C-alpha cells in the first residue's frame, strides 16, 4: 500500500473510531491530568468481586445523590436511564481520579470502550451503562447531568473518594 494511502487509511480509521465513541461518552483529549496506566491498574482485578453501585438517572433526579468510594477498591458502577429522554453523568475531576477498565453501554446502540479517559457518559432514553473502575485519588467531586437545564432542576450529586 503506498505511503499516502496508508496515511489516509489511518486518519479515516481514527475519525470513524471517534464518531463511534461520541455516541455515549466524551473522551478527554489531554490525558496528563488522568490516572496514569489505567489498563495496568485494572488488569489484575477480579471483577466478580468488585463492589456493585447503582445510580438511577430519571425525571430530573440522580438517585442516590451521594456516593463514597475507597481508594484502591474496584467498583462496577451501573447507570440506569429509565426515562424517556437523554441524561448524562459528568464530572471531569472524578473521572480523572479513577482508573477505568471499560465503559459498556447496553441497548440497541450499545458499545464497549476499553480503558477510556472519560469526561462524561451520555445515556439515551431507556439505556444502561456499566463503568468498571478502581478508585485512585482522594477528593470530593460534584457530578451532574449536563443536558440543558437538568442540573438546575436537581440532577446533581456528589462523589467522594476516601
Write the DSSP string, 39-95: HHHHTT--GGGSEEEEEEEETTEEESSEEEE-TT-EEEEEEEE-SSS-EEEE-HHHH
Domain ranges, ordered by start, for the chain: 3-161
Rounded CA separation 25/119 (Å): 7
Q: What are phi and psi of 13, to 5 degrees?
A: -60, -45
- The CATH architecture assigned to 3-161 reads Sandwich (2.60)
Q: Which of 88, 30, 101, 96 is nearest to 60 (CA)?
A: 88
pLDDT at residue 2 tops 60: no
What percent of the chain has pLDDT above 90? 72
Whole-structure pTM value: 0.83
Rounded CA separation 143/101 (Å): 20
Q: Which helix (H) or strand (E) holds 25?
A: strand 25-27
Cell of 2: 503506498
**What pLDDT does 114 receive?**
84
User: 4-40, pLDDT tens digit by residue?
Assistant: 544 443 333 333 333 334 467 777 777 889 999 999 9
**What pLDDT does 22 receive?**
44
pLDDT at residue 3 tops 60: no
Cell of 37: 496506566
**What pLDDT does 18 receive?**
38
Average pLDDT over residues 118-134: 94
User: 75-96, pLDDT tens digit by residue?
Assistant: 999 999 999 999 999 999 999 9
User: 34-71, pLDDT tens digit by residue?
Assistant: 999 999 999 999 999 999 999 999 989 999 999 999 99
> Could you tell me if 101 and 5 are in contact, meaning their C-beta atoms sit under 8 angstroms apart?
no
Q: Which of 114, 152, 107 is nearest to 132 (CA)?
A: 114
pLDDT at residue 107 tops 80: no
Length of the chain: 162
Amino acid at each position: 500500500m503506498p505511503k499516502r494511502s496508508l496515511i489516509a487509511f489511518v486518519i479515516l480509521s481514527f475519525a470513524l473510531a471517534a464518531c463511534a465513541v461520541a455516541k455515549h461518552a466524551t473522551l478527554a483529549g489531554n490525558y496528563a491530568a488522568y490516572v496514569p496506566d489505567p489498563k495496568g491498574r485494572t488488569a489484575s482485578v477480579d471483577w466478580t468481586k468488585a463492589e456493585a453501585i447503582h445510580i438511577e438517572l430519571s425525571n430530573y433526579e440522580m438517585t442516590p445523590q451521594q456516593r463514597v468510594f475507597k481508594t484502591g477498591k474496584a467498583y462496577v458502577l451501573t447507570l440506569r436511564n429509565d426515562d424517556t429522554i437523554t441524561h448524562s453523568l459528568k464530572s471531569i475531576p472524578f473521572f480523572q481520579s479513577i482508573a477505568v477498565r471499560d465503559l459498556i453501554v447496553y441497548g440497541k446502540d450499545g458499545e464497549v470502550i476499553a480503558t477510556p479517559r472519560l469526561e462524561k457518559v451520555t445515556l439515551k432514553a431507556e439505556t444502561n451503562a456499566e463503568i468498571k473502575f478502581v478508585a485512585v485519588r482522594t477528593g470530593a467531586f460534584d457530578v451532574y447531568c449536563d443536558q440543558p437545564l437538568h442540573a438546575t432542576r436537581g440532577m446533581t450529586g456528589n462523589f467522594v473518594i476516601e
